[in-house]
Structure 1
Amino acid sequence: MPLWHVYHPVGAYDAQQKREFAADVTGLYTGFGLPAFYVVTLFHEVPEESFLVGGVPTGGAVRVVVEHIARHATDAAARKLTGEALDRLLAPHTRERGLYCEFHIDETPQDLWMIDGHWPPPPRSEAEQLWARENRPIPY
């Protein structure tokens, strides 16, 4: 599952902008065959006095923490491509809107993850493809 935490200034995104941002995030992962319901995007509004960069309050920064569980980058080249893809995805929602942006990716072991009481199927398996088509966990 990709889990995105987007920490942002109060009022930086309205409801429609959040939906568009989350749709772009979801589209990135479904493009690689992941079920849409794997993708969770959480928006956290942070008041300027509680969002400090370099010890200084800021009202123009976005910090994104991405947790990858369903897929992991296997080598340095894959990690670089992943980072560049996320940077391209973020640009129209951050830098192109005049917001400073920083992100990082954590990778959680796949065997420490369950969905609605089910162990997720192996990557790229028939069962995972079924989950993607049905957009829900199904016993396999």
Structure 2
Amino acid sequence: MPLWQIHHPAGVYSEADKRDFAGDITANYTAVGLPAFYVVVLFHEITASNLYVGGQPADDAVRIVVSHLARHLDDPERRKQMTERLDATLHPYTRDRGLHWEFHVDESPRDLWMIAGLWPPGPGTDAEKAWAAANKPLPY
């Protein structure tokens, strides 16, 4: 499960922007076989008086925290490629709007994660493929 928490200035994203942004994020993960319902994106509007960068109020900064549970990458080159791919996904919603942006990815152990009372199936298994096809958790 990737969980994205996007902290952003109030009003910087319209409802359509949020749908598009969440859709682009989800596409990154479904492209590698994850079920779409694994991807959760939370938008947190922050007023300028509550967001500081370098000790100064920032009304142009977006801070993103990504938690990965479903997949972990051990190979440094693959980690770099994934991070660069995620950064490129952010560009239309950050760089191209003149915003300052920063993100990081945490990886949480899979054995500390459940969905609807079920342990998610292993990566690439038939059960995971069934979950992706149904776009919901299924007993297996």
Q: Same fold (TM over 0.5)?
A: yes
Provide the secondary structure at the position in 1 that maps to 2:4. strand
Question: 1:139 — aligned with what?
Answer: 139
Provide the secondary structure at the position in 1 that maps to 2:3. strand
Please say which of residues 114-123 and 68-77 is displaced more in the overlay.
68-77
C-alpha displacement of 1:78: 1.4
Question: 1:27 — aligned with what?
Answer: 27
AA aligned opposite 2:112 = L
Q: Distance in 1 between matches of 2:37 and 2:13?
A: 22
Q: Distance in 1 between matches of 2:94 and 2:31?
A: 22
TM-score by length of 2: 0.99
Question: 2:79 — aligned with what?
Answer: 79
Q: Distance in 2 between matches of 1:78 and 1:66?
A: 17
**Structure 1 residues 39-76: Cα deviation after superposition (integer angstroms, max 9, x where no partner):** 00000000001000000001000000000000011121
C-alpha displacement of 1:79: 1.2
Question: 1:121 — aligned with what?
Answer: 121
Q: Distance in 2 between matches of 1:48 and 1:75?
A: 39
Provide the secondary structure at the position in 2 that maps to 1:63. strand
What is the Cα-based RMSD across aligned positions, in Å? Answer: 0.5
- 1:1-140 equivalent positions in 2, closer than 5 A: 1-140=1-140
Q: Distance in 2 between matches of 1:65 and 1:127?
A: 29
Q: Which runs of 5+ in 1 are unaligned?
A: none
Aligned residues: 140
**Structure 1 residues 104-133: Cα deviation after superposition (integer angstroms, max 9, x where no partner):** 000000010000000000000000000000
AA aligned opposite 2:50 = S
Q: Distance in 2 between matches of 1:104 and 1:80?
A: 12
Which 4+ stretches in 1 moved above 6 angstroms?
A: none
